[in-house]
Structure 1
Amino acid sequence: MTTHQTVSLLIGLAIVVVLARLLGALAQRLGQPAVIGEVLAGIALGPTLFQGAISDTLFPDDTRPLLGALAAVGVAVFMFIVGLEWDAALIRGSGNIALTVSISSVLLPFGLGALLGLYLMDRHGTGDRTAFILFIGIAMSITAFPVLARILTDRGMSRTPLGAVALACASIDDILAWSLLAAVVAISGSAGTDEWRILLAVPYLLGMLTVLRPALRRMVDRRPSLRLTPNVFACVLTGLLLSAAATEWLGLHYIFGAFLFGVVLPRPGTERLRREVHDRLAPLSGTLLLPVFFLIAGLQVDLSGLDASGLGDLVLILLVAVGGKFVGAFVAARLNRMPARQSAALATLMNTRGLTELIVLNVGLQLGFLGRELYSLMVVMAVVTTAMAGPLLTSLLGRPTGNDLTDAHRAGKATDVPERATGSAV
């Protein structure tokens, strides 16, 4: 790196951090998740405003690969944290309602999204027709578990029956959506001339779940007072990076390896250790690395040339994304005898896409599934569907009280969700 590159990188990073914090705080003051402001910060620095003059001045072309590398690390760490917090107990304790709502809220938007992909193919399609159509379906099916969990916490709903069901549904949605995306990446031939490597993905997955996970479990059992020492933390980081590198080499994307390593870390008896890992990684990721990812994502968004045709496509994208998720979740919840108001609230929560959607869209952009114009429209969809969750929940359930209900009986009365629909997750 030259002195000019170093200075440009450091100044650019400082600007990204400050702008992300300011707009994130402003979004929270307006009752929105901070991620909305941070995404808008990235878009504001991109080519949408002033024909890219701001981004060209602050982030010269020779520093952007460096920013891209930091963004990749940030996404890998974020996906590891998502895997670390993913808990199968949410699914086991939520009853049939979580499974049926999740399947319905994935399959319906996926099917509608695939039909939308057929329509968009002529104007926005890429070389691989099948991958394009399937990817549009996946993009419509995403629910952002981390953003949904934060919304529930901010509203004091995380331990209510409705909140427990929503978390379980989002958890299952994550697994279904990532599995579908992995399948599309695999069949698209993104590994290039080394497509044979994708055949190793299944043995790798089985090895992580049936060899590494039990080995880690035995190690934890032998050391019940395991603490996050520098050596342990270094081992966690090494495993995260190697797992991410492995899935990238296999022809999948590095996000799958990072997520999988978080999932395979043992749960029972490691609550303190996992909390310490989270507390070490989350502040750096959320304050520096993810804002860089938002910047990189925003630099790819260009809405300056949006015309009537583009607006029409955006309206269709929003209708399919919102309608597919809402109808799928609402109908399934009603079939499980959840009251209409709570069913609508659950469907609204399942429409939260946030950062998870941006990660999926960037995978599509990197692998050539999406062009720049359609990518820009899909980013707008991700922002809109996340921003609408708070106001819609307020209209359905009233303003948050800030009191997290912990008593199952009180929670049941507050939400009118049938007791059988909540299981032991309350």
Structure 2
Amino acid sequence: MHGDQVSVVLFDLALIVAVARVLGGVARRLGQPPVVGEMFTGILLGPTLFHGTTLFPRDVRPLLSILADVGIAVFMFLVGLEIDRKALRRQTGPTLAVAAASMLLPFGLGILVALRLVDGTPAILFLGACMSVTAFPVLARILTDRGLLRSPLGGLALAAAAVDDLLAWTMLAGIVTFAGAAGPAQLRMLLLPVYFAIMALVVRPLLHRTLAAAARRGRLTPAMLGGLAVGFLSSAAATEWMGLHFVFGAFLFGLLMPREGSEQIVTEIVAGLSSFSNVLLIPVFFVVAGLQVDLRSVAGAGLLDLGLILLAAVGGKGLGTFAAARLAKLSPRDSGRLAALMNTRGLTELIILGVGLQLGLIGPYLFTLMVVMSLVTTAATGPLLALFDRRRRASRVAAAPAVPLPAVTTGSRH
């Protein structure tokens, strides 16, 4: 890499961080999660406005892509780490019902839409899986911002989203394996059982001892944080080499991390890795993804295709969640709020779409439509929750007993 490339890369990184911080702040002021503004960063700096040539020359894009992949590896490790396995093991009927309904209906509708948009069984299944995603990390942040994280509704939404995440990534792993099964290089996938055995029988006990030692000391050391980075990056590299994609290795490493008795250490791990990644690496990913998004292609037939995608994704996820919630005896208002929450997609959707784009399951045109769907569903969550809250306040006011007004006298004032 010569001096001119270094200058361009550093300038691009500065530009990406600056725009992402500004748009993230604007999104927060508008009552949206910052990720919505950061997603707009990728679109605004992409070919829709700048044709992707002046700001991000083609010879530096691979360098930005490497940084973006590192950021996604960190993010997926943290997603796996933040999923509460203990909560999943004690799932109640309503949670499983909501999770199943919010996956199956959009998956089925997505397959119907995919028959019009793509060819081949892997691509059709992939598009159905994309319709079924709920972004667990973004959902957790929305619940925190609105004070719902510890509420019964928030707990149900988080648990159902965690189940959805596990099912979606498992489904995607199967689709990726199936899509690559014909290539001679995919013989490496025969090593996947060995990899899973090593992770379960060797890596997980080692992680347990490591975190237990850190908990006894009461702090996370830089050496330990570095060792964890070596671990999840190596796991990501292993699954990428075997043809499964690196996101699965990073996610699985985080999922295997023990939490019992090490909650404070896990909190420090999340804080230590997420700050730098969220400020620098994730915005780079949004821009790298945004270079594949050209909103000028969404016209004519593109609007019809986008409408079908939104109908399958939003309608399927919303109706499935609402019906399951009503069967679980939730009120219509809480069922509607839960449906809005489960429609949150955000960064998780973009990562899955990026995997499909890299594997050739979808092209730039369909990638653009799906990114727009992800942005719309994430941005709509806040306003829909506010709408249900206003209706609740209005119904309370209407149901309140009338307060008699004081009598009005017409005599002279003394």
**How many angstroms does 1:230 deviate by?**
2.0
Counting only pairs closer than 5 Å after superposition, residues 325-404 of structure 1 correspond to structure 2 as 325-398=317-390
Following the alignment from structure 2 to structure 1, what is the Cα–Cα distance between the partners of residues 68 and 59? 16
Give RMSD over aligned pairs: 1.7
Look up the SS of the partner of 2:296 in the other structure: coil
Partner of 2:107: 110
Partner of 2:77: 80
Following the alignment from structure 2 to structure 1, what is the Cα–Cα distance between the partners of residues 331 and 93? 16
Deviates more, 1:151-160 or 1:260-269: 260-269
Partner of 1:210: 201
**How many angstroms does 1:399 deviate by?**
9.8
CA 1:103/1:369 → structure 2, altered by over 3 Å: closer, same or farther?
Answer: same
1:345-386 deviations in Å (ceiling 9; x for gaps)? 111111000000000000000000001111100000000000
Matched residue count: 392
Write the letter of the residue equivalent to 1:131.
Answer: P
Q: Contact 1:47–1:301 at 8 Å: present in 2 too?
A: yes
Counting only pairs closer than 5 Å after superposition, residues 213-252 of structure 1 correspond to structure 2 as 213-221=204-212, 224-226=215-217, 227-252=219-244
Following the alignment from structure 2 to structure 1, what is the Cα–Cα distance between the partners of residues 28 and 56? 27
Counting only pairs closer than 5 Å after superposition, residues 86-165 of structure 1 correspond to structure 2 as 86-121=83-118, 125=119, 129-165=120-156
Partner of 1:315: 307
Write the letter of the residue equivalent to 2:38.
Answer: E
CA 1:151/1:298 → structure 2, altered by over 3 Å: closer, same or farther?
Answer: same
Write the letter of the residue equivalent to 1:30.
Answer: L
**How many angstroms does 1:215 deviate by?**
3.2
Larger Rg belongs to: 2
TM-score, normalised via structure 2 length:
0.91
Partner of 1:60: 57
Partner of 1:19: 19
Q: Contact 1:156–1:400 at 8 Å: present in 2 too?
A: no
Following the alignment from structure 2 to structure 1, what is the Cα–Cα distance between the partners of residues 258 and 57? 44
Aligned mate of 2:187, from 169, 177, 196: 196
Q: Contact 2:214–2:265 at 8 Å: present in 1 too?
A: no
Equivalent pairs: percent with the same residue? 55
**How many angstroms does 1:336 deviate by?**
1.3
Following the alignment from structure 1 to structure 2, what is the Cα–Cα distance between the partners of residues 110 and 221? 41
1:168 correspondence with 2:159 = yes
Q: Contact 2:215–2:265 at 8 Å: present in 1 too?
A: no
**How many angstroms does 1:205 deviate by?**
2.2
CA 1:244/1:17 → structure 2, altered by over 3 Å: closer, same or farther?
Answer: same
1:56-96 deviations in Å (ceiling 9; x for gaps)? 11211111110000000000000011111111122244411
Look up the SS of the partner of 2:297 in the other structure: coil
TM-score, normalised via structure 1 length:
0.89
CA 1:379/1:211 → structure 2, altered by over 3 Å: closer, same or farther?
Answer: same
CA 1:186/1:400 → structure 2, altered by over 3 Å: closer, same or farther?
Answer: farther
Following the alignment from structure 2 to structure 1, what is the Cα–Cα distance between the partners of residues 244 and 379? 31
Partner of 2:275: 283
Look up the SS of the partner of 1:388 in the other structure: helix
Q: Contact 2:214–2:220 at 8 Å: present in 1 too?
A: no
Write the letter of the residue equivalent to 1:112.
Answer: L
Q: Contact 1:182–1:252 at 8 Å: present in 2 too?
A: yes
Q: Contact 2:211–2:265 at 8 Å: present in 1 too?
A: no
Q: Contact 1:113–1:138 at 8 Å: present in 2 too?
A: yes
Write the letter of the residue equivalent to 1:163.
Answer: G
Partner of 1:43: 43
Following the alignment from structure 2 to structure 1, what is the Cα–Cα distance between the partners of residues 153 and 91? 10
